Structure 1
Amino acid sequence: MGRLRNLLIGLTLAAGLSAAGAAPAQAQLGAAMRDRLVVITSESSTAITRMLTLSFTERFAGVTEPLVRHLPSSAAMELFCAGIGPQTPDLTIVVRRMPRTMLETCQSNGVRDVVELRLGLGAVVLAVRRGEATPNLTARQVWEALAAERVNDEEFVVNRRSLWSDIAPNLPRNEIRLIMPARGNGTTGLFEDMILEGGCRDVKAVRLLFDAAYRRGKCITLREDGRVRVLDGVEIPAALLASPPGTIGLLSYDQLLASGGNLIALSVDGVLPTQASIFAQDYIATRTVYLYAKRQHTRLREGIGVVRGVREFLNEATSEGAAGPGGYLGVTGLVPLGPAERAEQRRIAERLTLISR
């Protein structure tokens, strides 16, 4: 709670409101208007958020550039759901869908009118530097290389394998090294869910574990012997370029594209992450980028509300010029949804249709 309070106070001050006058929120919806949107973005959707806020500011005359803050996906949703009023965010852009439990937290804090939009598709990739070996890995091999424990004669033992060739003879004799973001980052979350759990689910010793939480722990708990290095997500591309040969980095598809060809993606389970494989969701670690907005913050005709621009921002985010084929969000690695899905998202944005689940 202390961390959340500090974040709310920081947003209040950055948005030009007094901390003392920021609560209670609901009593101030008409009186304490903000002149700029506040957007919380997950670290993995930073590039998308930056492009959207710049385009939104340029498109609408007299608009103050939105205030953007970067947090891990779970923290971004937590802050979004902290309440309503000028001291709380208007929008959040994340790379995982809001869980039902978080939506219930929103509602219990007064955030009842939530709009959910799907902006497009992205992916988590394993990458190496250009010119290095690009092994065709399976999710099972990735888990066997990185898990804290491996299976030996149906028993779990400490994982001491040091080379990729220890996992399978066709893999290079490179040291097992991975650079990845910390827990709470959307990239790490998808890596755990799709690649690590996907790689261990068919292991007999894992299947025999009855307790689901214990089973998941065996799948996603990584070794702590120095072979897995944790960094801030935005630092990973540069760190990978400066790392010893054979090091693999875990990053988002947009970070891969932004490297200008200096980083090369590895295939997982025989599928290389490309626009086509991500759109078809053939690539195992594909994800959807979501935008959440508070309809309660929208300024209505009567002048009541927290801030102007919520509806306009949603319309911009779902426009063909942004999220369609050839749209400017393509340079961030966002893969467009299909035509019918894009049309549906535009209708939700125009009508501010509330989430229903």
Structure 2
Amino acid sequence: MGHLRSLFLGLAMAVGAAAPALAQGAMRDRLVVISSTSAGTVARMIGASFAERYEGALEPTRRGLPTTAALELFCAGIGPQTPDIAITVRRMPRTMLETCQGHGVREVVEMRLGLSAVLLAVRRGEPTPNLTSRQVWEALAAERIDDEEFVPNRRAMWSDVAPSLPRTEIHVLAPNLGTGTNGLFEDMVLEGGCRDVKAIRLLFEAAYRRGKCITARDDGRIQRMGGLEVPAALLAAPPGTIGVISFDQLLASGGNLVALSLDGVLPTQASIYAQDYVATRTVYLYAKRQHTRMQEGVGVVRGIREFLNEAASEAASGPGGYLSVTGLVPLGPGERAAQRRTAERLTLISR
């Protein structure tokens, strides 16, 4: 409870500083959008396009948090000191929806924006080892397990991880920390790969377990750079180098980059859409209809419907839309049309 209170107070201070009150009953002059860390780039791009597309709209105030904390803050209550919109890579569980309702957030709109996937790739013509999430974690984690003790990870070759893997040096190009693609890689590959490690499961604190899972080595085996730079750098990298990229970047390479299978599944449009590929998540958007400012002056802020219309537009989340650079895989045509109807009508969640 203290953790949520500190988040709430921090957001209230940010909103108060960024959004002075307007005349005629308006409580804020801009939207407040929170996002899970790995959906931060999606939130930023929608916010920028929304401000550009709609006359008089200001770019929303944004804040990134871990998914659970973002949903908790969204559900903390109604009013100008609380967020209007949350964008996450996890669906709001029923228990959280009940928490929302208990705090007066009774009119929640839920939309699906698309599917987010991160993958490992090599240059065309390079060996394509069949990796597991566990092997990737064992190769890239800052620490390895030795007799149930954590020691620095000094593995130099993929064959040091498993004899069946190539005898090539571990060298990975990855997006900078804090980016959406890297966040998904941490959540779905590194944390997924260490989840069943006995020494990790024995750790009492969840935050400490996560730290052991996602803290990557910094001894030069992983080279960090802007996410958009990874494909070109991979094409020029030494043989055996593996890159962490989005599915859209794979398609944009024109066949020059080849994806590796992970846990026995090759990332394709079909396997991502079916969510058979392990490093896949649905990106969700939640909005408070109670915050919508009507012409009579009731509500908190203008622009919620317009923001949702922008997020659901073909220009954003359709095939070739600007969100594709974040690795977003579009929903099917019928599902995209359903999300546009939800945005236009502000249809409330029903489950």
Normalised TM-score (structure 1): 0.71
Structure 1 match to 2:79: 85
Structure 2 match to 1:4: 8
Aligned runs of 1:39-58 on 2, under 5 Å?
A: 39-58=33-52
Aligned runs of 1:1-357 on 2, under 5 Å?
A: 1-17=5-21, 31-60=25-54, 62-74=55-67, 75-126=69-120, 135-146=129-140, 148-150=143-145, 161-169=155-163, 170-175=165-170, 191=185, 194-196=188-190, 199=193, 217=209, 221=213, 226=218, 253=247, 266-357=260-351
Equivalent-residue separation in structure 2 for 1:129 and 1:160 (angstroms)? 25
Asked if structure 2 preserves the Cα contact closer than 8 Å seen for 1:83 and 1:110, the reply is yes
Q: CA deviation at 1:260?
A: 11
Asked if structure 2 preserves the Cα contact closer than 8 Å seen for 1:177 and 1:247, the reply is yes
Q: CA deviation at 1:292?
A: 0.9
Identity of aligned residues (%): 61
Asked if structure 2 preserves the Cα contact closer than 8 Å seen for 1:82 and 1:109, the reply is yes
Equivalent-residue separation in structure 1 for 2:121 and 2:7 (angstroms)? 34
Asked if structure 2 preserves the Cα contact closer than 8 Å seen for 1:92 and 1:292, the reply is yes
Cα distance change, pair 106–189 in 1 and its aligned pair in 2 (3 A) = farther
Count of residue pairs the alignment pairs up: 339
Asked if structure 1 preserves the Cα contact closer than 8 Å seen for 2:181 and 2:326, the reply is no
Equivalent-residue separation in structure 1 for 2:210 and 2:46 (angstroms)? 39
Cα distance change, pair 162–79 in 1 and its aligned pair in 2 (3 A) = same
Asked if structure 1 preserves the Cα contact closer than 8 Å seen for 2:172 and 2:244, the reply is no
Cα distance change, pair 219–225 in 1 and its aligned pair in 2 (3 A) = closer
Consecutive unaligned residues in structure 1, runs of 5 or more: 19-27
Q: Which is further off, 104-113 or 334-343?
A: 104-113
Q: CA deviation at 1:128?
A: 6.6
- The AA in structure 1 aligned to 2:119 is V
* Secondary structure in structure 1 of the residue aligned to 2:43: helix
* Secondary structure in structure 2 of the residue aligned to 1:354: coil
Asked if structure 1 preserves the Cα contact closer than 8 Å seen for 2:190 and 2:214, the reply is no
Asked if structure 1 preserves the Cα contact closer than 8 Å seen for 2:191 and 2:214, the reply is no
- The AA in structure 2 aligned to 1:90 is D
Q: CA deviation at 1:298?
A: 0.7
Normalised TM-score (structure 2): 0.72
Q: CA deviation at 1:109?
A: 3.3
Equivalent-residue separation in structure 1 for 2:281 and 2:288 (angstroms)? 23
Q: CA deviation at 1:291?
A: 0.8
Q: CA deviation at 1:132?
A: 7.8
Equivalent-residue separation in structure 2 for 1:331 and 1:255 (angstroms)? 7
Q: Which is further off, 307-316 or 102-111?
A: 102-111
- The AA in structure 2 aligned to 1:221 is C
Asked if structure 2 preserves the Cα contact closer than 8 Å seen for 1:42 and 1:186, the reply is no
Q: CA deviation at 1:93?
A: 1.7
Equivalent-residue separation in structure 2 for 1:265 and 1:140 (angstroms)? 18
Cα distance change, pair 230–36 in 1 and its aligned pair in 2 (3 A) = farther
* Secondary structure in structure 2 of the residue aligned to 1:40: strand
